[in-house]
């Protein structure tokens, strides 16, 4: 049995501790904002925060998160007004939108750790998040806006 929180609510899982967190979130908890992309932690579509750290939920096993706090895109802000979410909307970052929840979660973690990131900081932090539509210039601009730099 694994006990943890998701978006501030207690969760207990009695199933296979080898189940990836991504499948728990989507299939058991019904939180479909976290997306399946590659299943190998290479694209970033499944990014969530585990105890404040951005992780790829496709590779996080439920048995490894006991007692920890998970935040998904649904829990980043109750009203959708997290500075990153607001900047994303203001700058119309999304094109197809599939990768955006992972991009937003990675950007929020970056700004938590580095409130005024340089372009190099942004590039480094976001390098593991792929956008097939190529909205990288808008992503960078939104991160700068959310940080107050633009």
> Where do the structural domains in the chain lie, given as residue ranges?
2-75, 83-147
The correct CATH number of 2-75 out of 3.40.50.620, 3.10.20.30, 3.40.50.720, 3.30.420.40 is 3.10.20.30
The closest alpha carbon to 24, from 51, 46, 53, belongs to 46
Dist. CA 65–CA 62, nearest whole Å: 6
pTM of the model: 0.96
The CATH code for residues 83-147 is 1.10.150.120
So what's the pLDDT on residue 150? 65
Contact 88, 100 (CB under 8 A): yes
Which residue ranges in the chain fall short of pLDDT 50?
none
């Amino acid at each position: 049995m694994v006990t943890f929180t998701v978006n501030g609510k207690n969760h207990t899982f009695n199933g296979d501790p080898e189940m990836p967190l991504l499948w728990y979130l989507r299939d058991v908890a019904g939180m479909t904002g976290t997306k399946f992309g590659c299943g190998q932690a290479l694209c970033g579509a499944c990014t969530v925060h585990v105890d404040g750290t951005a992780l790829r939920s496709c590779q996080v096993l439920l048995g490894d998160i006991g007692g920890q706090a998970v935040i998904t895109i649904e829990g980043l802000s109750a009203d959708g007004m997290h500075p990153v979410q607001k900047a994303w909307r203001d700058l119309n970052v999304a094109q197809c939108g599939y990768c955006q929840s992972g991009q937003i979660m990675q950007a929020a973690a970056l700004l938590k750790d580095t409130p005024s990131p340089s372009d190099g900081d942004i590039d480094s932090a976001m390098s593991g998040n792929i956008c097939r539509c190529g909205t990288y210039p808008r992503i960078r601009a939104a991160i700068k806006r959310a940080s107050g730099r633009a």
